[in-house]
Amino acid sequence: KRGEAECFEQALGVARGCGDVEDEAAAFCNIGSACLQMRSMERAHESYAVGLKLLRQMGDKRGEAECFEQALGVARGCGDVEDEAAAFCNIGSACLQMRSMERAHESYAVGLKLLRQMGDKRGEAEC
């Protein structure tokens, strides 16, 4: 897995050198996945955050949903229910914008359930 992360780091360098923001975002999400598999949660979280920022800037909702699903793994791996709920709500939002209504509904439902269990009324309203 460490080799995968290093390979994705090299791909990130190439993407940056070419000015290819789409490949740069993909590299960050891939680095996040490799770090998740190595149980390097902080680095995975940081990588996903940068990848998501770039995907949002490009308006790539499908890529955003995929990256959120990967980030969901980080939240679950850390036992962070708040981040898990946020990931589900974000997946729902991305799916809604892609007109994937059933998947959006399912994701929102899980996110809202977790938020209610935590007693997070503000999170419920935002989700």
Place of tokens 């974000």: 90
Q: What is the pLDDT of residues 3-41, one digit of tens each?
A: 777 888 888 888 899 999 999 999 998 888 888 778 787
Report which of residues 36 and 124 the model is more confident about.
124
Highest mean pLDDT among 13-17, 46-50, 69-73, 118-122: 118-122
Q: What is the pLDDT of residues 60-76, one digit of tens each?
A: 988 888 888 887 887 88
Quote the pLDDT of residue 2. Answer: 67
- The burial of 76, by beta-carbon neighbours within 10 Å (0-12 exposed, 13-18 middle, 19 or more buried), is given as middle
Q: Which strand (E) or helix (H) includes residue 15? A: helix 2-18
Nearest to 85 by CA among 53, 32, 44, 123: 123
